[in-house]
Structure 1
Amino acid sequence: MTFVVTEACIQCKYTDCVAVCPVDCFHEGPNFLVINPDGCVDCGICVPECPANAIYADVDLPADQAHFLQLNADLSRHPAWPVINAQKDPLPDHGTWLEVKAKLDQLDRHGA
């Protein structure tokens, strides 16, 4: 099992989850975070820390978010998406995006 960052993170990029991760499995893109499934130890402590409720266990992924399992794996392995292991401020307009649905088209895959 692994945990997966889903669409709710796009354009928000809260990093509360990163601050509690014991194994540094989060990777950072321009406007999204992903979890490296090979590094995740399945502890789940990141889930309640996410203000956007964007993190799920892979077995609990909503059907409309299932493609994020592969997306997390792919982007976490890309050299342009480095490990992030310290909390940062969310994106400046995170409040505007927090409740927006269907925002995959906003994902900036820069470098990927």
Structure 2
Amino acid sequence: MTYVVTESCIKCKYTDCVDVCPVDCFREGPNFLVIDPDECIDCTLCVAECPVEAIYSEDDVPGTQQHFIALNAELSKSWKPIIEKKDALPDADDWAKVTEKLEKLER
């Protein structure tokens, strides 16, 4: 089992989760983070740190977000690791509660 970043992270990209990850499994895109499933050790530390509740255990990803399991695996192969907390995107608070924003994902 691994953890998965879902839609709530798009256009927010809070990186509190990165700070607590003991194995540096997060990868960074322009406006989204993903978890590399091959690196994740299922420690759960990142879940509580995410202010928009975007991180789920693979077994608990909501039905409407299941495609994010494959998306995390795909993007983690090409995006670079992020190992330090950074500022969230400038308008992250405005996007935090927006739903159905997959089309806003920048690769």
State the Cα distance separating 1:43 from its structure 2 match. Answer: 0.3
Gaps of 5+ in 2: none
TM-score (norm 1): 0.95
Per-residue displacement from partner, 1:10-54 (whole Å, max 9, x unpaired)? 000000000000000000000000000000000010000000100
| Structure 1 counterpart of 2:98, from 89, 96, 100 | 100
Residue correspondences, number: 107
Greater than 6 Å deviation, 4+ residue runs: none
**1:75-90 mapped onto 2 (5 Å cutoff):** 75-78=75-78, 81-90=79-88
RMSD of aligned C-alpha atoms?
Answer: 0.3
Whole-angstrom distance in 1 between the partners of 2:70 and 2:35 = 10
Q: TM-score, normalised by structure 2?
A: 0.99
Counterpart Cα distance in 2 of 1:83 and 1:31: 14
Residue 59 of structure 1 aligns to a residue in which SS? Answer: helix
* Paired residue type of 2:69: L
Q: 2 CA distance for matches of 1:9 and 1:52?
A: 7
Question: Which consecutive unaligned segments of at least 5 residues does structure 1 have?
Answer: none
How far apart, in 2, do the equivalents of 1:41 and 1:99 lie? 29
Q: Residue 10 in 1 paired to residue 5 in 2?
A: no
Which residue pairs with 1:56 in the alignment? Answer: 56
